[in-house]
Amino acid sequence: MNRKNKHDMKVKTFMLFAITLLIWALLFVIKLHFWGADGESIIDDIVSNMIGIIPPLLIFDFGLEYLTRDNIANDISEKITQTLLGESEAIGAFKDDDKIRFVKNTVKHLVGEESYDMVYAVMEPYITGKYNRRTVFRYKITLRSSPKSDLFSDESYYRIYESLRYRKHYAVDSSLPQRFSVAFIMNANALDDALRNRTYIFQENFAINEPELRKLLDMSEGEQKNFIEKELHLSIYIDGKMCRLEDFSFGENIITVNYFSEHDEAEKVHDVDISFSMPQRRGISDFMVSISEPTYSPVIELSYPETEMEVKAFSFLNDCEDSSLENATNNIDSFEFNIQDKWIYPMSGVVFAINTEREG
């Protein structure tokens, strides 16, 4: 019974009591003036009636209060629950510590004490805003049998074309700096800690043979810049504006390219567009698309000349129907993983096993 019903019941009780008094008053007048009864006998009758009527009324009122107390408490609890679950503004009025305590208690009741620590440990980085996230994610990879290069021969190399686009939502304590780097790594195991732990907007394995590496290292600065712009066709746009190549370095194990962007660092959401192509050593190798941040509805495509290469795909995306290899679009010369309306969490991705030694 809600508060309104309780109020209505009290009004009815009061009205019943008032009607009873009115009836007594009428009886008093009738007996006194028409029946000729004396005042003392009338008062005795009234007292007798009061003794008979008032106790039941009191018992009814207090008994109703006692019997409906649990219903009122349940009704209040239901109203609070509806407010919390149906109106985000109500939860927004809480302090952050109270919100987290509410989530913790909810998770604990849902999964139990034994699983609580594990489940909340997974949720905690997202609740506290430690993770960046990506949306509108599309990664397209195209393999071609010819490197189309004077430096890299058709017999030893093929070419990979890559196009990566996404919208990145940065956490409260991070942002996209105007100066950032791209890395092409020849030997990750030989990198020192400073280079290995450095943050790049993008990095890719660059598998080449020693003679071609020597030629790259022996180039002049102008020739190396031309290699980046004309051979790798490296192009980066942030929020629709083309980034400017500032400087670069060619090492035994890594090529680092530094860029400057004119985007607003204070903004927390940026559109990123990266495209390039590069020669890659022939043979048996793997190409991994790694999801390192929470990513919503990613699309991953790879196409190749099926008469000249053999490619197999291995998915370690989330355990959902769209991410399985059986449900990927698998044509004779292409793969497509199109995750619909789902988040993919780190660390996950797809590995493509590439064999360029296939005979035509």
Q: What does each C-alpha distance from 308 to 112, 154, 283 come to in angstroms?
A: 55, 12, 12
- Backbone φ and ψ of 313, nearest 5°: -115, 140
Question: Residue 150 class from Cβ within 10 Å (0-12 exposed, 13-18 middle, 19+ buried)?
Answer: exposed
Question: Residue 73's pLDDT is what?
Answer: 59
Question: Residue 122's pLDDT is what?
Answer: 81
What is the pLDDT tens value at each position of the chain, 360 positions in all? 445 555 565 666 667 667 766 766 676 666 666 655 566 666 666 666 666 666 665 565 655 565 566 566 566 666 666 665 656 666 777 787 888 888 888 889 898 888 888 888 888 877 877 788 999 999 999 999 888 888 999 999 999 999 999 999 988 667 899 999 999 999 888 777 767 677 799 999 999 999 999 999 999 999 999 999 999 999 999 999 999 999 999 999 999 999 999 999 999 999 999 999 999 999 999 999 999 889 999 999 999 999 999 999 998 887 655 555 666 777 789 999 998 888 998 888 999 999 998 654
Reduce the DSSP state of residue 267 to 3 states and report it. coil
Question: Residue 35's pLDDT is what?
Answer: 59
Residue listed under structure tokens 């053999």: 310
Residue listed under structure tokens 């000249």: 308
The Cα–Cα gap between 67 and 335 comes to: 67
Distance from the first to the final alpha carbon of the chain: 81
